Structure 1
Amino acid sequence: MTTQDLAQAYAHHVGEMQRRSTQALERGGFDRLVVPSGTLHYQLFDDRDYPYAVNPQFKAWAPLTRNPGSWVVHTPGEKPTLIYLQPFDYWHVVPEAPAGYWVEHFDVVVIRKPEEALQHLPKDASHCAILGEAQSAIGDFVPNNPPAVVNHLEYHRAIKTPYEIAMMRAASVRGVRGHRAAERAFRAGSSEFGIHLAYCQAARQDANDLPYSNIIGLNEHGAVLHYTERDRLPPADIRSFLIDAGGSHDGYASDITRSYAFDPACEFQSMIDAVDAAEQRLCDRVRAGVDYKQIHLDAHLEMATILRDSGVVDMSPESMVETGVSAKFFPHGIGHYIGLQVHDVGGFLASDEGGRIDPPDGHPFLRLTRVLEPGAVVTIEPGIYFADLLLQELRDGEHAAAVDWDKVDTLRPYGGIRIEDDVVCTDGDPINLTREAFAALG
């Protein structure tokens, strides 16, 4: 996307933000929307701050992710105001003055001290919807996070603007560069920590820039869904590798998972290939009008079919799903919304007025239960894991005899499999941002 195209896409985006925010204010009975960027948190009994995380409601307006103490003010019918903190600070690098394709869409006020924001915020805080964490409070501007406003904004945030899709496409390219480097490091025999460093170098982002902590597991560690320990030395026998890692671009995230066997001819690689093929079929289900809950249930049937065809479980796929056996190997949800946050908001909302759509019975970890609409971006991430705690529950249960435990013992040292792509729902065929990025990089 050229700079001119990006500027045009952003102009449309900020216009959409104004439209949604005006409607949200009407719902809540407020005159203005006030959004702090957030502040630094300091550790108890210490003078060190935790890594700063920008308020997602703030970065929805502007591509600013390292600017604590700043504010956005939206008044219906007026140009939004950006109160930009550029502190007098010789201890740290001072943020440069706002510049770029997006600045002309704001009335920008630069302040040198956080308390100076009060001079430029609305006169009456009681008429404002203030979205942020309590620590961002300044004077009378204490975040109230009115549900009517938050529900409206979070419900509609599920539908991404073309500008947001462009940001996520760029985040996908950054993540795929990291994934390519990580696979090379794995093939070269690196440790989990070494693979992590190779990823960060290729993605050109460190731990605080990444959208979430990299999950990098060799061998059995691939069965731990959120494994982040990162051993400093490689195991004596490297068998398999699972990496769940993304990239960030101007506040937007990608979320990508791949699995590999060190021996491409082994049985575990055949299972990986089967999961990959199933994942692509599920990605093709990301279409307007499709209930995401059904994609999740279809994923269980897909994984159960692989378990049957691999000789791990001697049951029909339908029976595995009905009895919960499939959940012992595939215990998480098929995916979630993604955007400004990795697990983006609004996944359970029944409407922009609130309400909740619960996950299907027996599937408590599904993070998205809505019907898909054009503009939604979701992850699709099926998996099969040989996790000791879940396997023990299965061994102690009524369906233990249906499992080939010798086969399980053979596969357990490989850990687990997960394949994950970020997919855009459109009016027609879905757009797979992840596969698109892999294809572009070769």
Structure 2
Amino acid sequence: MNAPASFDTDLVPLYADHLATMKRRADEALARGGFDHLVVPSGTQHWQVFDDRDYPYAVNPQFKAWLPLTRLPYSWLVYTPGERPKVIYYQPFDYWHVVPDSPSGWWVDHCDTHIIRTPDAAAALLPPAARSAILGEPQSTLGDHAPNNPEPVIQYLEYQRSYKTPYEIALMRQAQRLAVRGHRAAEAAFRAGESEFGIHMAYCTAVGQDANDLPYGNIIGLNEHAAVLHYMELQRVAPDPLRSFLIDAGASFHGYASDITRSYAYDTGSEFQAMIDAVDAAQQNMCAGVRSGVDYRQLHVDAHHTLMGILKDFGVIRVSPEAAVATGVSAAFFPHGLGHPIGLQVHDVAGFAASDRGGRIERPAGHPYLRMTRVLEPGMVVTIEPGLYFIDLLLEEVKKNGHATSVDWARVDAFRPYGGIRIEDEVLCTGGDADNLTRPAFGEAD
């Protein structure tokens, strides 16, 4: 499913500004690294060992940062300061596979495009390797053009990717709309009694993307499976009775990802639905906390206290939220991070970057899975995904660590068959109020 007909037209001026930003960033990155040219291969196909089958192709994120081309292996982007970007566009003569369409779209008028019919033909169009910063995987090596990934260049460009341009935000909003179509179809399939596999298929059909198009594998868990953070087994038979449903699924749009999670109780009048509602309300408050100057680490720690307050209200823990956090009990119920940067990659780069020259901002002690430790600034997009789970392995650790009395185990037993809850939106940090990219997409769908 595509964007409205006017969408591509609207992107024309946005892309021009985006490309100007990319050039400025590349100019600075090359100056820092002491190079004359930026060379970015799109990536190659990977072949399975002892077989003639290839793995699904994944484009180099550094390539799709410049161009909305995600299915173009063996191609190259070349930028030299002061010149128009050069796109070396691989369009083979091939009757075994679908050949990429001729170059078209909002980007073509801004680049010099050269069609090649064989991968080796790119070599004659590339600038001298010794003076080039070549960003890519080792397999993209062509002749003496081997990716060198110079740290000063990579560090600067990845750090700057934290600040999304209006063009990127437009693409990310459309990725939200696509994913929401899938989420609505998935909920309907759950209510109709479909299996995890059936729900997955309903999602993919509604989005119009299959497993190779989606930005990550769909997490679709019914009942206890919702307690497995990255559950992807997709059972073909629905459990009986149906109690709960957790779906963590996104969509791709011209190289940009969405990442949305929702949780549902089959019985909308149940106590578990009341807990979902409490997490949802808390999550919206957390989203509103995405503001310039706020330390994301503090948002994460505050989320632990808020979620433990919910468990206290539902009688699951006997101690105060502060005590649950201090003793590590909270980590048994909320074992992952509050969220992560998102954009060209689902878990986007530079979440720990201390500056555009390198360095790392460490996670808070006791929170090993947090993927974002920076202070928020305008232009950043992060996910906010608090969760509460009833995971046997972690609950046993609570007992082993001497904190069994902190928990009402009868209440745990009551909620264990439902697995867990996670609610996730994407939020843009602005100079003022937080801009939730996800909730309006659900509003449009409704």
1:38 aligns with 2:43: yes
Name the structure 2 match of 1:339.
343
Unmatched 5+ stretches in structure 1 = none
Name the structure 1 match of 2:66.
61
1:419 aligns with 2:417: no
Name the structure 2 match of 1:300.
304
> Could you tell me how far apart the structure 1 residues matched to 2:233 and 2:354 are?
37
3-state SS of the aligned residue for 2:89?
A: strand
Name the structure 2 match of 1:86.
91
Name the structure 2 match of 1:285.
289
> Could you tell me how far apart the structure 2 residues matched to 1:363 and 1:47 are?
43
> Could you tell me how far apart the structure 2 residues matched to 1:71 and 1:2 are?
26
1:110 aligns with 2:115: yes
Name the structure 2 match of 1:401.
405
Letter in 2 for 1:291: D
Unmatched 5+ stretches in structure 2 = 1-5
The 5-angstrom pairing of residues 247-286 of structure 1 reads: 247-286=251-290
Letter in 2 for 1:378: V
Residue 55 of structure 1: how far off its partner (Å)? 0.3
Name the structure 1 match of 2:147.
143
Name the structure 2 match of 1:28.
33
Residue 316 of structure 1: how far off its partner (Å)? 0.9
Of 230, 238, 259, 2:234 maps to 230
> Could you tell me how far apart the structure 2 residues matched to 1:103 and 1:206 are?
28
CA offsets per residue over residues 120-161 of structure 1, 9 Å max, x none? 111x20111000000000001100111110000001100000
3-state SS of the aligned residue for 2:349?
A: coil
Residue 3 of structure 1: how far off its partner (Å)? 3.5
Q: Which runs of 4+ in 1 moved over 6 A?
A: none
Name the structure 2 match of 1:96.
101
The 5-angstrom pairing of residues 102-251 of structure 1 reads: 102-122=107-127, 124-251=128-255
Name the structure 1 match of 2:19.
14
3-state SS of the aligned residue for 1:171?
A: helix
3-state SS of the aligned residue for 2:438?
A: helix
3-state SS of the aligned residue for 1:207?
A: coil
> Could you tell me how far apart the structure 1 residues matched to 2:9 and 2:346 are?
28
3-state SS of the aligned residue for 2:163?
A: coil
Letter in 2 for 1:355: G
CA offsets per residue over residues 93-123 of structure 1, 9 Å max, x none? 100111011111110000000000011111x
Residue 431 of structure 1: how far off its partner (Å)? 1.1
Name the structure 1 match of 2:326.
322
> Could you tell me how far apart the structure 1 residues matched to 2:218 and 2:56 are?
16
Letter in 2 for 1:100: G
Letter in 1 for 2:358: G
> Could you tell me how far apart the structure 1 residues matched to 2:7 and 2:412 are?
52
> Could you tell me how far apart the structure 2 residues matched to 1:37 and 1:232 are?
37
3-state SS of the aligned residue for 1:242?
A: strand
* TM-score normalized by the length of structure 1: 0.99
Letter in 2 for 1:78: E
CA offsets per residue over residues 180-239 of structure 1, 9 Å max, x none? 000000000000000000000000000000000000000000000000000011012110
1:311 aligns with 2:312: no
Letter in 2 for 1:216: I
Aligned-residue Cα RMSD (Å) equals: 0.7
Residue 2 of structure 1: how far off its partner (Å)? 4.1
3-state SS of the aligned residue for 1:241?
A: strand
1:372 aligns with 2:349: no
Residue 36 of structure 1: how far off its partner (Å)? 0.3
CA offsets per residue over residues 313-348 of structure 1, 9 Å max, x none? 011111111111110000000000000000000000
Of 53, 65, 76, 1:71 maps to 76
Letter in 2 for 1:334: L
> Could you tell me how far apart the structure 2 residues matched to 1:150 and 1:15 are?
19
Name the structure 1 match of 2:3.
none
> Could you tell me how far apart the structure 1 residues matched to 2:327 and 2:151 are?
38
> Could you tell me how far apart the structure 2 residues matched to 1:273 and 1:202 are?
26
Residue 397 of structure 1: how far off its partner (Å)? 2.1
> Could you tell me how far apart the structure 1 residues matched to 2:394 and 2:272 are?
19
The answer to which of 428-437 and 192-201 deviates more is: 428-437
